[in-house]
């Protein structure tokens, strides 16, 4: 009985035009996205250097040679074009989806929620009949032209988009978000200029960004499903995504969300809209009236594989419901936050700042210690925030050093990060040789340092201290640091920095200057730090020590790479939205031409530096 009802709901016939709109818009956006965020225009930088470290989900997933990676990206781009045009639709979906997931699995540093969403939508389109309207396939084959589609085509897409919003709202129930700690310094953005006439920046950040974002994410999916509230939901959701496109550099994500909103509307709304257009315009648009009736019943007859298809749909739904909560299984991927990054739908809940990263290589044979430039062998710094990628990085560095006859080495990594406005603190134990460390995807990482949650209450005080320092001058800077008992931090004050001082906020530290001066500092004690000289700060108390650096000078010369400044903005991903779309497209075309000439005629490749 239950299966019969499920079959009736899933195979109820629907007009194909609404689904076609989603297909066209998604395909168009992917045509653009492949050149930008997927990295088609940067294939030479990503895969042309064989000394570069990669961070695949599975170690057996390896990149192809540069030439064939270009061909793979070309295949993905042609697939996106085919999706948009509805040409050889199934083959186009495969041509896009398979390379897309391969590239995604190949590089965890590119993982985020929207990249995962694009991959899911490509799979849903692959199994759909989204080419039955306004497509080259429908123009060629009259048997599918305007042919109604089973309702499950719509149900699965609606489910996925609903889950995107709802789970994002559920994840925002975190005290960090509801307390207003996740998104800082957004109230000063120009998008809120009209509101700042009568609201303070703090009020905008808390009530508009945090509480407003939470309520919208949690409820908008329900309002979209209810016809009476749908117009209002569409208005607020559209405004939300347009605002996000201005606030954050997140690629095509806001536009993909906008493109999928109409799927919640009536299945024949495009035809009704076309029918209402002026006669001349209507002649240029797809046929809005001709419908091929394939059966007399509004429900497609049960086929031999109906139960199997229902089972697959059920498995997809259950998987998507469960995966965002899989952190109790995949514990090795957790850090201070739970959940595998990329598909937890905890969007914007966690704001990270990285103060500095130190990679130490010790030659066990000679005892010599070297410090490795953290920009060598990698193309971005996302690896520093995840234990699994730090582990992969250490083993990759070992392989690269082995090529220059450094085979017996120990590698230590010291990462200082801040979560949602807390003190900067160590993420992993800097005393652990990562080449001998244990890591498993299913067990907690033993060398991960705990988040100092007992210091979370300091955040209000830190904000006050920050404002005080900023009032000193336009060049005033401050950085807040917490460290564990018995551990030390070596730091350096560049020549361009003046008035550098350290003040202890909690606990006790020992300050050692390179010239031999040594002193102990207790709560509220301050000490000047000379420039162009190394210093070491050791926590001597039996509780974590907290202290702050203050200094005057440009942020690029600060002792802390990400020290707060008066003009600090919310961290954003480094994509190329500010660059003309034609520039990445031209680069991609040039890379394809170069690869073809090499593969066909053996013409040597010309690699470009970053």
Q: What is the DSSP string of 374-412?
A: TTTT-S-SGGGG-HHHHHHHHHHHHHHHHTTT--SEEEE
Question: Rounded to whole angstroms, how far apart are CA atoms 436 and 260?
Answer: 48
Q: Is 150 helix (H, G, I), strand (E, B) or coil?
A: strand
Average pLDDT, the chain: 89
Q: Express as a percent the part of the chain with pLDDT over 70.
A: 90
Residue 581: pLDDT over 80: no
pLDDT digits (tens, 9 = 90+) for 239-295: 999 999 999 989 999 999 999 999 999 999 999 888 877 765 666 666 665 554 444
Domains of the chain: 16-150+583-610 (no CATH), 158-267+302-348 (no CATH), 352-451 (no CATH), 472-557 (2.60.120.10)
- Cβ within 8 Å of residue 187, ≥6 positions away: 196, 200, 201, 202, 203, 204, 205, 209
What is the C-alpha to C-alpha distance for residues 203 and 110, in angstroms, rounded to an integer?
33
Q: What angle do CA 527, 529, 535 make, to 5 degrees?
A: 110
Helices (H) and strands (E) in the chain, counts: 19, 14
Does 560 have pLDDT greater than 90?
no
- Output DSSP code: residue 20: H
pLDDT over threshold 90, residue 551: yes
What are the beta bridge partners of residue 510? 520, 538
Mean pLDDT of 373-385: 92
Contact present, 411 and 361 (Cβ < 8 Å): yes
User: What does the DSSP assignment read for 243-282?
Assistant: HHHHH---TTHHHHHHHHGGGGS-TTHHHHHHHTS-HHHH
Give the per-residue pLDDT at 352.
93
Contacts of 115 (CB under 8 A, 6+ apart): 37, 104, 342
> Average pLDDT, stretch 106-126?
94
Joined tokens for residue 590: 């040039």
pLDDT tens digits along 440-453: 999 999 999 999 99
**pLDDT tens track for 488-535:** 999 988 888 889 999 999 999 999 998 778 999 999 999 999 988 899
**Residue 570 pLDDT class (50, 70, 90 cuts):** very low
The answer to whether residue 341 scores a pLDDT higher than 90 is no
pLDDT of residue 479: 94
Q: What tokens appear for 608 in the block?
A: 């470009």
- Which pLDDT band, with edges at 50, 70 and 90, does 567 fall under? very low
Q: What does the pLDDT average to over 365-381?
A: 92
Q: Which of 108, 172, 271, 382 is labelled catalytic?
A: 172
Which pLDDT value is given to residue 575?
39
pLDDT reported for residue 568: 36
- Measured from the Cβ of residue 413, the count of other Cβ atoms closer than 10 Å reads 24
Residue 474 CA to residue 456 CA, distance in Å, equals: 28
pLDDT digits (tens, 9 = 90+) for 136-187: 999 999 999 999 999 999 999 999 999 999 999 999 999 999 999 999 889 8
In Å, how far are 196, 246, 539 from 478, measured between CA atoms?
Answer: 26, 28, 20
CA-to-CA separations, 455 to 1, 135, 577, in angstroms, rounded: 56, 58, 38
CA 382 – CA 404 distance, rounded (Å): 26
Residue partners of 94: CB distance under 8 A and separation at least 6? 79, 126
What would the 3-class secondary structure string for 151-168 be?
CHHHHHHHHHHHHHHHHH
Active site residue 172: yes
Residue-wise pLDDT for 50-91, tens only, equals 889 999 999 999 999 999 999 999 999 999 999 999 999 999
Least confident of 253-257, 326-330, 426-430, 553-557: 553-557
The yes-or-no verdict on residue 237 having pLDDT over 90 is yes
The alpha carbons of the chain give a radius of gyration, in whole angstroms, of 28
CA distance 560 to 355: 5
Task: Identify which of 424, 412, 524 has the alpha carbon closest to the alpha carbon of residue 484.
Answer: 424
Q: How far apart are CA 13 and CA 581, in angstroms?
A: 39
Q: Is 127 helix (H, G, I), strand (E, B) or coil?
A: coil
């Amino acid at each position: 009985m239950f299966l019969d009802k499920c079959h009736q709901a899933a195979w109820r016939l629907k007009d194909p035009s609404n689904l076609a709109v989603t297909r066209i818009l998604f395909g168009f956006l992917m045509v653009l996205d492949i050149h930008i965020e997927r990295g088609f225009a940067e294939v030479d930088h990503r895969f042309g250097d064989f000394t570069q470290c990669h961070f695949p989900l599975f170690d057996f997933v390896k990149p192809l040679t540069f030439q064939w990676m270009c061909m793979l990206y070309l295949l993905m781009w042609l697939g996106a074009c085919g999706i948009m045009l509805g040409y050889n639709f199934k083959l186009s979906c495969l041509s896009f989806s398979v390379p897309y997931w391969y590239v995604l699995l190949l590089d965890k540093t590119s993982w985020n929620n929207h990249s995962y969403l694009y991959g899911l939508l490509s799979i849903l389109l692959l199994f759909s009949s989204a080419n039955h309207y306004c497509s080259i396939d429908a123009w060629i084959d009259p048997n599918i032209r305007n042919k109604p589609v089973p309702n499950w085509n719509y149900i699965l897409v609606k489910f996925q988009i609903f889950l995107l919003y709802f789970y994002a709202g559920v994840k925002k129930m975190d005290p960090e978000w509801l307390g207003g700690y996740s998104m800082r310094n957004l109230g000063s953005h120009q998008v809120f200029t009209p509101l700042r006439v009568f609201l303070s920046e703090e009020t905008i950040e808390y009530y508009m960004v945090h509480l407003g974002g939470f309520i919208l994410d949690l409820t908008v999916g329900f309002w979209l499903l209810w016809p009476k509230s749908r117009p209002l939901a569409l208005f607020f959701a559209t405004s939300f995504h347009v605002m996000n496109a201005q606030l954050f550099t997140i690629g095509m994500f806001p536009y993909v969300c906008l493109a999928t909103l109409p799927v919640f509307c009536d299945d024949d709304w495009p035809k009704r809209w076309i029918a209402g257009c002026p006669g001349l315009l209507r002649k240029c648009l797809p046929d809005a009236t001709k419908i091929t009736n394939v059966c007399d019943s509004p429900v497609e007859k049960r086929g031999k594989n109906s139960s199997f298809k229902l089972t697959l749909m059920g498995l997809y739904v259950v998987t998507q419901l469960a995966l965002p909560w899989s952190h109790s299984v995949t514990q090795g991927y957790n850090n201070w936050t739970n959940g595998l990054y990329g598909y937890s739908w905890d969007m914007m809940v966690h704001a990270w700042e990285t103060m500095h990263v130190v990679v130490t290589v010790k030659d066990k044979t000679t005892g010599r210690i070297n410090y490795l430039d953290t920009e060598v062998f990698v193309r971005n710094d996302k690896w520093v925030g995840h234990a699994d990628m730090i582990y992969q990085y250490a083993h990759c560095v070992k392989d690269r050093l082995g090529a220059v006859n450094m085979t017996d080495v120990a590698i230590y990594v010291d990462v200082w990060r801040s979560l949602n406005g807390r003190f900067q603190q160590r993420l992993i134990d800097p005393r652990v040789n990562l080449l001998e460390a244990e890591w498993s995807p299913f067990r907690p990482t033993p060398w991960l340092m705990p988040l100092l949650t007992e210091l979370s209450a300091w955040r209000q005080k830190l904000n006050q201290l920050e404002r005080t320092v900023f009032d000193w001058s336009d060049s005033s800077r401050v950085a807040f640091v917490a460290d564990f008992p018995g551990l030390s931090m070596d730091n350096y004050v560049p020549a361009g920095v003046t008035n550098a001082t350290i003040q202890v906020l909690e606990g006790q530290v020992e300050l050692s200057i390179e010239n031999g001066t040594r002193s102990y500092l207790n709560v509220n004690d301050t000490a000047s730090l000379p420039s162009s000289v190394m210093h070491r700060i050791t926590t001597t108390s039996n509780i974590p020590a907290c202290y702050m650096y203050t200094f005057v000078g440009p942020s690029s010369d600060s002792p802390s790479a990400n020290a707060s400044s008066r003009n600090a903005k919310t961290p954003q991903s480094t994509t190329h939205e500010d660059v003309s779309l034609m520039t990445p497209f031209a680069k991609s075309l040039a890379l394809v031409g170069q690869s073809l000439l090499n593969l066909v005629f053996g013409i040597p490749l010309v690699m470009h530096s970053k």
